[in-house]
Structure 1
């Protein structure tokens, strides 16, 4: 088995057919297709069951969330390589073949490819710096590199799990798992798995299409973004536990501050106060930790001011007044 494709879905009846067909019609046919129906309450399961293909392995379960579902599917994956697909997205029809041949020929732990944005409302297709791999200059083309080569732009890379093909034996040996029980489960997973890899390559071809629509989690700044705090806490924990912290702390601390800082400025109004409360609690814990001095020393002036203002303000209204 060359590739295990993992698709975890919850209530994706509108798009799931397109996602499934993009896999079943691949130019490479030596794959298993693990579909996890994570407690859908719409017609998603009926649509999955309408496909009669022996390569499909269905896991039908009560809802446990995307991170836990991916972990469950990863444990069952038997392919030489593993790829992920979201239920509202799709792969180009030669994506598995191109990604597998690149990873196999270069014996990589991780190979990263390009993604196109598809706007469901307008039908426009576009890219961005993250999805187009613009952080990688031409010296990264057609070669194998270690994560240290990306030291200066690590936190500019896309954390999207679906943008990569992973060697299955490496996934199992590394024991890296997705965070369970929160949104943004991709982010801590990506940084840990990337920094544990030894052989990485890129493909400058758009193999994956990410659909932007009204209910897309990462494209709507709603109360799901409360989980940026928990995701940042988990990221810090993994860097510390794996011995990555000292080398990357300057950029890591800036990245940890920037996520919630951006979310607080853009999130819908009814979620601003609860998000501030979570950030405030997190920063008070940092203030009482051995890492507090690192935040004061390593953060630039804008991020340090945000950090200290959140600590000193008792509530969101007081914080808003400090901005005036």
Structure 2
């Protein structure tokens, strides 16, 4: 059985080809095939390949007319029979154990992609240089395998868009019909990043196993002036693939940030006049087509990238200041009877004053950062005192710690998870349990609690096992696609916000799994007589965009529905519908009155939640107040609320829901009002507190 097919595109690389081939034929993994695709070389590359083929039957030579490395790799894949695919550029070379180590890791983890590290090799100096920037290990989870959803940073900037530092499962590549773009340069970006976001099982070999030559005389990357549009074609194809597999909504912000970053690299490494051509194209079309145009500074992960973008588009402060100074100079020359040199010197003095002011502002920002760091260090110093203090304060009661993913400070009041933790704390304490809430800055604190309950949404937490008696419970309330089976295994009990997914998960992990759906605080959210307000005939939607258009909001806006929206990001997302945006935030204590006064609320779920039948708590909050809901839905949700929610899965069904709401509102409202007693009995925080206590008693010891 052939374990790995190594595919090497070859074009006029006689100077480096022997080192490349030697590194492959001497691999410690012997069950390989080496497919060399000559791309119309005009030097002695083919003769060198023939020498190796004569000595080693594993070497196969394919010849084609010059079409580029992308076409050559595709040709090689069509002839490959190995379980895994490895790609190598003919001017680079492998570590002798590369294939063995990458193959072993992939097999152990049943991985679809195995990623390894690389370094840079400088031929003239015969020196190796580290390339730690290629794989951002700080963004990776502490467990393997994982998918892009467990990567904490931008997935497109965590890995490079190169194929030669990765091993791909051929069955996976065939399943998604992945191919390289057949263009002169940037022909692997589409293949690599499509694979990285489609893979469910990615593993890492944390060793340098491949060496990239950085001073190859004939490298195509040195002549990108001949193919300066290729990077854009790669980005465009990647976006289309994300849309095709319904991943763009989840990855839009990461894609746009990467698109800007990669565009800037291409722009800065081009020479004139090509650089000016690219600048013109970016400003005329491409920045808008890539989704970059119109985004504010806080949308971008790298402030420097945003400043460079402003510079290219002529919007930077420096450009604006230069323009203002030029205008002032021209004006002064008209009215002040002095020479040009005098005015120029005066303007230089003003520029110096401006620079001094900027330095003061920068110093203030640095001082703020120092104060923040000092505060964080003091916080960590206090952690050692907390266990004893908690035991003293608890006075014999069990100590539970709720690990809440909200950030500390005022920002936590904008997190629904924080109010979730507050409500749970209230009802647990009524059961004579002492409860502490740790926001994310204190997740590293070990309080030596009896129970640690982790509200698992977007953020990973690793149980601290220094205290052997602590029971760790994960309550997976959202985004199940972000959690691997190995992460679930870190806990003593796993609670899942979906009966369907709990049953599915029980068959896949050894840890006890219990269904525990989301809920509401029925002391806060309950029905009251509907008061006459300016919202009585209007629809509402409460939720941020997170950089993603929410379809139900867009449809309502396009149909001129009387809609009020609260949440971050909507002003940028709906530039033509600013009138429907009422604010960026609604306080939790104000939500019930808002729910009781509106006509109905629109609702939706993230795709991974809907696919795995997780119901968000907005449903329970709204219906507990007797507010009709229009929402996408799943089988589990329809079993719980068969008539109280109007369901849609596309625009036509959404419009039918609105029509029913308008024609038969009293009946729809009556159904919503009937839900309170059932919600209080089965979907309240009081009920969840009881269930959690019962679970701990059941599984303790």
Could you say which TM-score interval applies, normalised by the shorter chain? 0.7 to 0.9
Tell me what 2:186 maps to.
Answer: 184
What is the CA distance between 1:273 and its match in structure 2?
2.0
Q: How does 1:1-324 map to 2 (within 5 A)?
A: 1-51=2-52, 52=54, 53-136=56-139, 139-140=142-143, 143-156=144-157, 157-215=159-217, 217=219, 220=222, 222-223=224-225, 224-283=227-286, 286=289, 295=295, 299-300=299-300
The answer to whether the 8 Å contact 1:229/1:279 transfers is: no
Q: Runs of 4+ in structure 1 displaced over 6 angstroms? A: 320-323
- Equivalent position SS for 2:142: helix
Instruction: Name the CA distance, whole Å, in 2 between partners of 1:221 and 1:262.
Output: 14
Output the CA distance in 2 between the equivalents of 1:323 and 1:33.
59
Larger Rg: 2
- The number of equivalent residue pairs is 313
For residues 185 and 197 of structure 1, what CA distance do their matches in structure 2 show?
20
- Stretch of structure 1 that moved more, 176-185 or 83-92: 176-185
**TM-score scaled by length of structure 2:** 0.42
Unaligned runs of 5+ in 1: 314-319
1:160·1:186 contact (CA, 8 Å) conserved in 2? yes
CA distance in 2, matches of 1:293, 1:277: 14
CA distance 1:67–1:112, change in 2 (3 Å):
same
Q: Out of 85-94 and 247-256, give the one that drifted further.
A: 247-256
The offset of 1:230, in angstroms, is 2.1
Whose RCO is larger (CA < 8 A, sep 6+)?
A: 1
Whole-angstrom distance in 2 between the partners of 1:163 and 1:188:
15
Moved more, 146-155 or 213-222: 213-222
* Aligned-pair CA distance for 1:136: 4.4
User: How many angstroms does 1:303 deviate by?
Assistant: 5.4
Maintained 8 Å contact 1:295/1:304: no
Deviations 1:22-78 (A, max 9, x none): 111111111111100001111111111112121111111111111111112112210
Provide closer, same or farther for how the CA distance between residues 277 and 9 of structure 1 changes in structure 2, counting only shifts above 3 A: farther
Q: Cα–Cα, structure 1 residues 204 and 133, in superposed 2: closer, same or farther, change >3 Å?
A: farther
Tell me whether 152-161 or 63-72 shows the greater mean CA deviation: 152-161
Query: Is the CA contact (8 Å cut-off) linking 2:140 and 2:151 kept in structure 1?
Result: no
Secondary structure of residue in 2 paired with 1:269: coil
Q: How big is the shift at 1:238?
A: 2.0
Q: Relative to structure 1, is the Cα distance of residues 285 and 10 closer, same or farther in structure 2, using a 3 angstrom cutoff?
A: same
More divergent stretch after superposition (47-56 vs 271-280): 271-280
Offset of 1:181 from its aligned partner? Answer: 1.6
> What are the Cα deviations for residues 80-110 of structure 1, in whole angstroms up to 9, with x where unaligned?
1110111001111111111111111221100
1:182–1:230 Cα contact (<8 Å) kept: no
> 1:17–1:292: structure 2 CA closer, same or farther, 3 Å change rule?
closer
Distance 1:169 1:214, change over 3 A: closer
TM-score w.r.t. length of structure 1: 0.86
Deviations 1:161-189 (CA, angstroms, capped at 9, x unpaired): 00011111111112111111241122121
Structure 1 Cα separation of the partners of residues 257 and 141 of structure 2:
27
**C-alpha separation between the residues in 2 aligned to 1:179 and 1:323?**
43
Seen in structure 2, the aligned counterparts of structure 1 residues 105 and 296 have a Cα distance that, compared at 3 Å, is same
159-168 or 117-126, larger mean C-alpha shift: 117-126
Contact 1:144 1:201 in 2 (8 A): yes
Q: Structure 2: give runs of 5+ residues left out of the alignment.
A: 323-701
